[in-house]
Amino acid sequence: MALLVCAVLFPLVIGITEIDDSAWYFLAKVVILVGIPAALVWRSRRNIKIAHHRLAWQWWAPIVVIAVWMILSQASPWITVPTFPGVDLAYLLAAAMLTALTAGVGEELFYRYWLQTRAEALLGRWGGIVLASFAFAIMHLGGDRQGNGLLVEIAAVIIVQGSFGIMLGYLWSKYRNLPLVIAAHIMANGYAVFAYLITGQISG
């Protein structure tokens, strides 16, 4: 229950303070989605055990799924190579690294490792996956820059981030392989920067 409070608190804080484009956003994410939950989980660490698999096929099988998803997610005709006009290379790389840590690592710790695992114990596999994925999607509210309205934004995050969360949630539920879902999240977030870098469009 306390983890659900954190899941609701984070988008509320970001929405109220409108700090989604500043260093305060990363600080709020670290505190609300990592710091507080880590303390809560540490206090109740004896109440739940996570079985970690070490068999080789439990690494390569989900990697195939992730690779196919990455290819298909970039195959749409409306996907374009992103541009970062006027952004310094050092700043871009630093921001990418910070995002990898707070989103790729922090969000997977919270939404999959902590929240989903406990939700599965209460609601079953798919109940836990759906709950954690919905919370993960709602966390991304506030990114509508085109003024399409709240309902359109909610639908967009549920479709895009929600479906991504369900994929990662299923992989976590089936394989209990945290490094793998973290890597998949980092690859998904970092694709835009990676594509931009390899095209050689950055100017000093």
pTM above 0.85, yes or no: no
* Closest-CA residue to 98 (of 11, 25, 37, 169): 25
List CB contacts of 134: < 8 A, sequence separation 6 or more.
158, 162, 165
Instruction: Give residue-wise pLDDT tens across range 54-63.
Output: 666 666 777 7
What b/e string do you get for 108-118 counting C-beta neighbours within 10 Å, with b at 16 or more?
Answer: bbbbbbbbbbb
50/173 Cα distance (integer angstroms): 10
Instruction: Give residue-wise pLDDT tens across range 125-165.
Output: 999 999 999 999 998 887 555 566 778 888 888 888 898 89
Q: For the purposes of burial, counting CB atoms within 10 Å of the CB of 149, is it exposed (0-12), middle (13-18) or buried (19 or more)?
A: exposed
167/49 Cα distance (integer angstroms): 23
